[in-house]
Amino acid sequence: MDEHKLADLFRDAVREAPPASFDEQDVLGASKLATARHRMRVATGSAFGVVVLAGVAVFGANALNPGPDEGSLAAAQNSSEYGATDSGTPLVPFTAGPNQPMPSGPVPPGRTTQAPPKSIPESTSKQGDDDPGRAGRPTSSTPTGCGPADRELAVALAHELPAAAGLTPTPAARSCGPGSRAMSVLVRDGGVSGVVSVILGPPDAKIGSDDIGTKDLPPGSASASAYAPSGRPLTVVSEPAKGSITSPFSGRVEDIARKLAEKL
């Protein structure tokens, strides 16, 4: 049998076709309906996409920019979850203690009614430096008036005392009269460390008075004074370190005071 006879068999099988159950209007109606459904699906999908994108944008904005209260509260909560700080200090619950009465009345916006917890540690410096503003010596019960560290005196002292060269001068923690200029530097004399101060007193001050930096010297201190050509008294004080009674360069304070007074 060839392909023509097989084709005849196929054509004979469909020769008696019943009337069609659809016409052109049915096709047009179905086409319009399908097009409308397609547009509806596209619109629905687009709206869903816009809603999802808006939700993601809002969530991302909130995640990247938390409010100040939310951030601090979240940080406190996170710290509480771990139970202790890095230094090992155990944390207490984030509540006000009995000695911390709760504030009453309206609370300003952005503030909470709870007092800050005592257990939150202060931020520690990662640089290994000392407390800011401390000049190497305790300043309690020490009269002020010596002013800021005088750089000219520091240069002159470094010239006479090489051990003080390159060190950072600090304000002198001595008793100075008005108009005085002074500086101090923490030096090391072999195994002895201490503070050497240079005070250029006011013009009307006299050696032996209390306003040239020699008042209330700690035990073991050494001091020497000399008049500068301008008539101002110049005093060099060497104080031992805390807990020691030996001051650095105690045998040279007179020589240093004399030489510095000649220059100033």
In the complex, the residues that contact another protein under the rule CB under 8 A are 1-3, 5-7, 9-14, 17-18, 20-22, 24, 26-28, 30-31, 34-35
| Sequence letter at residue 95 | T
- When the beta carbons of 11 and 126 are compared against another protein, the nearer one is 11
CA distances 208 to 98, 153, 212, 256, Å, are 55, 21, 8, 18
- When the beta carbons of 1 and 63 are compared against another protein, the nearer one is 1
Q: How far is the CB of 27 from another protein (least distance, A)?
A: 5
Q: How far is the CB of 5 from another protein (least distance, A)?
A: 6
Burial of 225 (0-12, 13-18, 19+ CB in 10 A): buried
Q: How far is the CB of 46 from another protein (least distance, A)?
A: 20
- When the beta carbons of 23 and 81 are compared against another protein, the nearer one is 23
- When the beta carbons of 14 and 102 are compared against another protein, the nearer one is 14
Measured CA to CA, the distance from residue 262 to residue 229 in angstroms comes to 7
- Show the tokens assigned to 100: 């911390």
- Show the tokens assigned to 63: 């995640």
Q: How far is the CB of 65 from another protein (least distance, A)?
A: 48
Place of tokens 């990247």: 64
Measured CA to CA, the distance from residue 91 to residue 165 in angstroms comes to 46
- When the beta carbons of 28 and 56 are compared against another protein, the nearer one is 28
Q: How far is the CB of 43 from another protein (least distance, A)?
A: 17
Measured CA to CA, the distance from residue 148 to residue 172 in angstroms comes to 8
Query: Which has the closest alpha carbon to 116: 130, 105, 139, 100?
Result: 100
- Per-residue DSSP letter, 166: T
Q: How far is the CB of 11 from another protein (least distance, A)?
A: 6
- When the beta carbons of 31 and 89 are compared against another protein, the nearer one is 31
State CA 61 to chain mean position distance: 25
Measured CA to CA, the distance from residue 223 to residue 195 in angstroms comes to 12
Q: How far is the CB of 49 from another protein (least distance, A)?
A: 24
- When the beta carbons of 26 and 262 are compared against another protein, the nearer one is 26
Query: Which has the closest alpha carbon to 196: 165, 227, 226?
Result: 165
CA angle 137, 141, 144 (to 5 degrees): 75
